Structure 1
Amino acid sequence: MQFAIKEISKAYTKQTGVDCEIIIGSSGKLTAQIKKGAPFDILVSADMKYPEELFTSGFTTNKPKIYAYGKLVLWTMIDSIKPALHLLKNLDVHHIAIANPKTAPYGIAAVEILKNKGIYSSINHKLVFGESISQTNQFIVSKSAEIGFTSKSVVLSPKMKNKGNWIDLDKNDYSPIAQGIVVLKNRAMQKNDAEKFYNFIQSATAKKILVNFGYSVK
């Protein structure tokens, strides 16, 4: 979400005059910091688990709201490789990067696809797990892994657009990757601006940005 959120924040500032400071990190680590009193106003997460956890624990002013659904792609930076699921069984592919399914929704989705296609058991020894989708991207970009699963928003970002080869994966082969937003209680003075952003991310302007970055919205 780090790429799309920058564009959404710029559009929000342009419309409201309110500047945004973006703190990038894994949802789990940010949630832990919030519980310890970190001065954040909003949590925008690729994993609904953490906004739900903060809401249940009393750290938010509202229930988590789904603002978009992530899409999974198969991506490589090696020019000679044309991404395809059946290619993962190829003997020339030694490392396949995915986000850790224990902590990352994109990792869960990747494992679901592999199991639904009946190839998980034959290639699971090749899997290289990133702590987050960001670390997974590093494995792919550095070519430490010949190929890997990542978010479509990454391959459509200004920094990565037109780099490497990627394919969309059938959304019917994995559970929806719901992404959520909550307003936090930590800084009451910023509540109005935070709620404006919470509403803005569900506006037509923000939805257009999200779609351009490969997300699906309702």
Structure 2
Amino acid sequence: MNKILLLLFTIMVVCACRSGNDAKLTIATSANMRFAIKELVDAFSEQTGIDCEIITGSSGKLMAQIIEGAPYDLFVSADMKYPEALYQRGFTTGTPQTYAYGRLVLWSAAEGIEPDITILTSGQINHIALANPKTAPYGQAAVEVLKHYDIYEKVEQKLVYGESISQTNQFIISGAAEVGFTAKSVVLSSEMADRGAWIAVDENACRPIAQGAVIVKSTGEMKKAEKFYAFLFSEQAKEILEHSGYAKNEYTNR
């Protein structure tokens, strides 16, 4: 019931923004892109005069909302799986394209803790935060990392799951978890840059996090959506994404 009410509220808010000729472009965006998407939208709006409304959440939940009828114009995901699933079911105008590759980091805001994979099994760490691997690609990547180092079963009881990267970040910042996995774009953002310490996770420890985007077929703002989609793959957007911690290629150093 709560999920249905939340979806109805989201639809009402989005529809309220669509009245008149100055209707905003509504972009459903994965939580790891929370900071980068704002910079992208600001640059796009300055260039085109088109205003945008940003809806953030886990990629899996945003996909479900699109299937249930949420009036989003574009879907900027944290992976390729969810946009591909929408395409296969006929909800997009075309196949998803990779706009960037995400990077996973291990982050701690707790005083006296230097994040490192080796401390996760120690008594120093009681809680490890990660996004829900069932709906959040960065959570899936975190589980892959733990299994890569053969410590998943050893730390399984310490794991605390956020609904998305945003909630995971709150667990880390609040100290509810001594350490956690998040997106590199988060720790490089101006809001989080001076909070705690972090290390980049070895790129070989999990599959590359290819992030895809699609235009939702039901959009009522097709021309505007096509303009933003083109902008997302422009050199200007690539520079913004790289500055935010994303990569153009699967592996940074290859």
Where 1:21 maps in the other structure, the secondary structure is strand
- 1: CA distance between counterparts of 2:178 and 2:207? 25
1:151 counterpart (158, 178, 183): 183
Q: Is contact 2:59-2:137 (8 Å) kept?
A: no
- 1: CA distance between counterparts of 2:152 and 2:141? 12
- 2: CA distance between counterparts of 1:88 and 1:59? 41
Shifted more, 34-43 versus 76-85: the winner is 34-43
Spell out structure 1 runs of 4+ moving beyond 3 A. none
Q: How does 1:1-218 map to 2 (within 5 A)?
A: 1-188=33-220, 190-218=221-249
Partner of 2:29: none
- 1: CA distance between counterparts of 2:206 and 2:181? 12
2:184 counterpart letter in structure 1: K
1:115 counterpart letter in structure 2: K
- 1: CA distance between counterparts of 2:60 and 2:143? 20
Shifted more, 36-45 versus 149-158: the winner is 36-45
Where 2:246 maps in the other structure, the secondary structure is coil
Q: Which gives a bigger RCO, structure 1 or 2 (Cα 8 Å, sep 6+)?
A: 1
- 2: CA distance between counterparts of 1:104 and 1:28? 6
- 2: CA distance between counterparts of 1:31 and 1:119? 31
Give 5+ residue unaligned stretches, structure 2: 1-32, 250-254
TM-score (norm 1): 0.95
2:215 counterpart letter in structure 1: V
Over the matched positions of the two proteins, sequence identity in percent amounts to: 58
Where 2:56 maps in the other structure, the secondary structure is coil
Where 2:55 maps in the other structure, the secondary structure is coil
Q: Is contact 1:42-1:182 (8 Å) kept?
A: yes
Shift of 1:118: 2.2
- 2: CA distance between counterparts of 1:134 and 1:121? 25
- 2: CA distance between counterparts of 1:135 and 1:29? 14
Shifted more, 148-157 versus 98-107: the winner is 98-107
Residue correspondences, number = 217
Shift of 1:195: 0.8
- 2: CA distance between counterparts of 1:13 and 1:211? 20
- 1: CA distance between counterparts of 2:156 and 2:188? 28
Mark the CA change 1:63 to 1:159 in structure 2 (over 3 Å): closer, same or farther. same
